């Protein structure tokens, strides 16, 4: 049956990816590096969030590295490098998500002994990144106020896959009539337990609490 064949191929691809993700995780654990997979729509402010968070972590003596995933260009990697962080750029050449093998290549280009936290900025996309494990310790969904409070209802899969949700650009909430209660209800519909941080990378509001969550997670995994 044709539809059965399609499912089988998909399962095969995902199984291969899971094996590569497990290898990545073992490499990260051996190096004592906690990795966060940042998933979001284009324009949610992933790179700005990474920079604001990494600066806060640096003040606490925690060293950040970054893998940037984009269809094309080094624009984000250049921003991160200019701020003084180790960074590897992955261009997917049109691919709409990162997979574990791509991330392995990015990890190989970084000195894992010189970092404590690895931010993996996935390709901007609220659909398929949720289906590809990378070997990270936590999936972070980055939402942003301009996207509107209905997105958890419309893209339940990625919110269900989140270990933690960050709502960025909270400084625009009043201007854009963003309903934080409805947003949170949408998250809870598919994900009852993931911590939810509301912040603004631009103003810095809420970034300290988010960075503290990362530090707590790192202390838990690598005491």
**Tokens at residue 87, please?**
């960074």
Q: Which does 56 bind (CB under 5 to 8 A by kind): Zn ion, Mg ion, none?
A: none
**7 lies in the site for Zn ion, by CB under 5 A:** no
CB of 158 closer than 8 Å to CB of 141: yes
DSSP 68: E
CA distance 94 to 32: 32
Q: Which does 76 bind (CB under 5 to 8 A by kind): Zn ion, Mg ion, none?
A: Mg ion
Of the ranges 8-16, 28-36, 75-83, 149-157, which one interacts with Mg ion (CB under 5 A)? Answer: 75-83
Of the ranges 3-11, 43-51, 79-87, 157-165, which one interacts with Mg ion (CB under 5 A)? Answer: 43-51
Interface mask toward Zn ion for 83-102; x: CB under 5 A:
-------------xx-----
CA distance 164 to 143: 11
Instruction: Compare residues 26 and 96 and give the one whose CB is closer to Zn ion.
Output: 96
Give least dist CB 90 to Zn ion, A: 13
Of the ranges 28-36, 47-55, 83-91, 202-210, which one interacts with Mg ion (CB under 5 A)? Answer: 47-55
Of the ranges 41-49, 90-98, 161-169, 171-179, which one interacts with Mg ion (CB under 5 A)? Answer: 41-49
Q: Could you give phi then psi for residue 59, rounded to 5 degrees?
A: -65, -25
The CB density around residue 153, as the number of other CB atoms within 10 Å, is 15
Closest-CA residue to 75 (of 121, 41, 127): 121
The DSSP element (H or E) to which 37 belongs, if any, is strand 34-40
Q: Is 75 exposed, middle or buried (0-12, 13-18, 19+ CB in 10 A)?
A: exposed
- Residues with Cβ within 8 Å of 78's Cβ and at least 6 positions away in sequence, in order, are none
Count of residues that interact with Mg ion, criterion CB under 5 A: 3
Count of residues that interact with Zn ion, criterion CB under 5 A: 3
**Tokens at residue 18, please?**
């899971």
Instruction: Compare residues 65 and 69 and give the one whose CB is closer to Zn ion.
Output: 69
List 46, 97, 149, 151, residue binding Mg ion (CB under 5 A): 46
| Helix, strand, or coil (residue 120) | strand
Instruction: Compare residues 10 and 73 and give the one whose CB is closer to Mg ion.
Output: 73
**76 lies in the site for Mg ion, by CB under 5 A:** yes
**47 lies in the site for Mg ion, by CB under 5 A:** yes
Q: Contact positions toward Zn ion, by CB under 5 A?
A: 96-97, 128
């Amino acid at each position: 049956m044709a539809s059965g064949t399609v499912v089988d191929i998909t399962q095969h691809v995902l199984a291969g990816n899971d094996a590569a993700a497990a290898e990545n995780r073992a490499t990260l654990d051996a190096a004592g590096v906690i990795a966060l997979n940042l998933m979001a729509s284009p324009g949610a402010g992933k790179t700005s969030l990474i920079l604001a968070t990494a600066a806060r972590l640096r003040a606490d003596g925690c060293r950040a590295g970054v893998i940037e995933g984009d269809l094309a260009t080094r624009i984000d990697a250049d921003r991160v490098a200019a701020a003084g962080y180790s960074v590897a750029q992955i261009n997917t050449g049109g691919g709409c998500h990162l997979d574990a093998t791509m991330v392995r290549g990015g990890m190989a280009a970084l000195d894992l002994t010189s970092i404590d936290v690895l931010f993996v900025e996935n390709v901007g996309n609220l659909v398929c990144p949720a289906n590809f494990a990378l070997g990270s310790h936590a999936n972070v969904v980055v939402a942003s106020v301009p996207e509107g409070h209905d997105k958890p209802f419309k893209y339940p899969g990625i919110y269900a896959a989140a270990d933690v949700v960050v709502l960025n650009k909270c400084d625009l909430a009043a201007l854009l009539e963003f309903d934080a209660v409805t947003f949170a209800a949408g998250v809870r519909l598919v994900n009852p337990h993931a911590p939810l941080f509301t912040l603004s990378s631009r103003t810095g509001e809420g970034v300290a609490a988010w960075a503290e969550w990362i530090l707590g997670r790192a202390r838990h995994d690598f005491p």
